[in-house]
Amino acid sequence: MLTPQNLVAPQSKANALSVYRELLRNTLPVLSTNMIGLVVGLLELKIAGTLGSNTLAAIATAFVWVSMVQSFSLAAYCIGSTRATAIRKGTAALSSVLLSALVGGVAIGMSFSVLIVILCRPLLLTAGLQGSTLEEGVQFLILTAASFPPLFVLGGVQGFLRGVGLPNPASFIVNGSLVLGLALAVIFAHPALLGLGYQGLAAATVVSCWIGALVALIYLRWDRAVALHLSWNIWNRFDRSIFADILRISYPAALVWIIVAVTALCSQHLLAAFGLSYLGGFGLVMRLETVVGVVASAFSAGLIYAATELVRANRTAEIVSIKRSQQQLLSMIIMPFVIVCLAFPTWWPRLFTDDLDLVQAAARNGQYFVGGLLFMGLTQVASSGLIALGYPLRMVGVIVTKNLVLTLPLMYGVEYLRLQPLPDALFVAQVLGAPLAWLLAEYLLRTTIALYQESTGRKD
């Protein structure tokens, strides 16, 4: 376990290596789960590419909103459930934590389902989809919305199991659901098999999520240590204060993903003016950000754990050193990825489609976009330290500054002034805010450490 005793000691190389090992030990399990989810998502996009460029553009555009809900449920809601469980571990309130996470998760999932069904058409119209491509995107979102309640059940169960010290079953259940979804997507959607097209992709997501949620509940009931004992009067065990505690931790991360989705929607609206190929190409380019975000979130989780230990040990000044270690490890992963994307700009889009116009549009956007990927990852890690210090809204402030204060005004300014060459000027505006956001996150982390020390009267 990563403890205050084996955290950073800069003067000792042995201790420095120990820190790296401990950070990796707490980072790699989360990274493995995230990477499986990422690979599954990319392969499903590859399947969409076999259905034609229009279907690929529809699903790549619509999936921004599915990705937002998946991130909220399997990441933000899971983190909230983990914390609510961990602080009540060994108490009689543990069963109430589980039931509150499950009932509350279903309620949130149903709310998102209703919202997506109502808003999917205006959202995709705003993004620039038209005609048959619009209809495919709308139907895909409507069908996929049925997967949102079980997704939040999976997030709640995963958080509960991690909170009671059983991370392996949690990862097994979620990973199994993701892999099942991929297998069903191949069977349902691939033209050589059932050939249900985009409807098959949506059905695969729904069926796999419901099966995963059912397996999770059966496991809880079967395992004596965490047996699920539900009374007929279910609301007697639902605790609103516990549910509020879960939301208090998870909603800042949810706000971040909503801001990211809104930013993507505005970017789609601007790029749609250049044709369907640029709109679909942007959907592919967003997968590059997903790759970096998935990797960075695992290193962020490791930092949150280590920083929490340091806060408890009254050694908050050392959070900066731990943060730097995580950023160095992350950079070793991101930089080779960036170099490959720059050296072979058309190679990665060809993984998803053979449509030449779509490949060229994605490569043209990607050659600028990859320049901001490292800064995006570094910003995410630095911002996670704010969560451990108890200032999650400052993390939201970093994303608001990057996306709503810098990126979108720059893009709309370029479009209004018609700066040439277009659309390259838009692509540059997309990433100009990334290094500035990183500098802001670093500054906020250091000032927040000082503020925490001052407010608690603790000096390292």
pLDDT at position 437 over 60: yes
pLDDT band of residue 61 (cuts 50, 70, 90) is confident
pLDDT tens-digit series, residues 353-396: 888 888 899 999 999 999 999 999 999 899 888 877 878 788 88
Q: Examine the pLDDT at 433 and tell me if it is beyond 70.
A: yes
Q: In this predicted model, which residue has the larger pLDDT, 115 or 6? A: 115
CA nearest to 209, candidates 173, 257, 247? 173
Picking from 18-22, 89-93, 205-209, 395-399, which range would have the lowest pLDDT averaged per residue? 18-22
Instruction: Please write the tens of the pLDDT for every residue from 138-190.
Output: 999 999 999 999 999 998 888 888 777 777 787 788 888 888 988 998 899 88
CA distance 143 to 199: 7
Report the first-to-last Cα separation within the chain, whole angstroms: 22
For residue 99, give the nearest of 218, 229, 244 by alpha carbon: 229
Q: Please determine, for residue 19, whether its predicted confidence score (pLDDT) is greater than 70.
A: no
Q: What is the DSSP string of 62-91?
A: HHHHHHHHHHIIIIIHHHHHHHHHHTTTTS
% of the chain at pLDDT higher than 70: 86
401-430 pLDDT tens trace? 999 999 999 999 998 888 888 899 999 998
Banded pLDDT at 232 (limits 50, 70, 90) = very low
User: Tokens representing 337?
Assistant: 């990825």
Reduce the DSSP state of residue 195 to 3 states and report it. Answer: coil
Backbone dihedral region for residue 128 (phi beyond 0: left; psi -120 to 50: alpha; all else: beta) = left
Taking the C-alpha atoms of residue 74 and residue 151, their distance in angstroms, rounded to an integer, is: 7
Nearest to 304 by CA among 323, 324, 325, 283: 323
Distance CA 441, CA 395 (A): 8
Which residue is it, tokens 């997903």? 290
The pairs formed by 358-361 with CB atoms below 8 angstroms and a separation of 24 or more are: 358/53, 358/56, 358/57, 358/277, 358/280, 358/281, 358/284, 360/277, 360/281, 361/274, 361/275, 361/277, 361/278, 361/280, 361/281, 361/282
Question: Whose structure tokens read 């999520």?
Answer: 209
pLDDT band (50, 70, 90) for residue 277: confident
With 0-12 / 13-18 / 19 or more C-beta atoms within 10 angstroms meaning exposed / middle / buried, residue 215 is middle
Domain boundaries, the chain: 1-34+275-460, 50-250
Chain segment 123-133, per-residue pLDDT in tens: 999 988 888 88
- pLDDT-derived band at 27 (thresholds 50, 70, 90) equals low
| Distance in angstroms (rounded) separating the CA atoms of residues 358 and 344 | 16
Q: What is the pLDDT of residues 30-39, one digit of tens each?
A: 666 667 776 7
Q: How much is the pLDDT for 443?
A: 95
DSSP 3-state of 96: helix
Question: What's the pLDDT band for 3 if we cut at 50, 70, 90?
Answer: very low
Cα 103 to Cα 101: distance, rounded to the nearest angstrom: 6
pLDDT-derived band at 63, boundaries 50, 70, 90? confident
Residue 132 to residue 140: CA distance in whole angstroms: 12
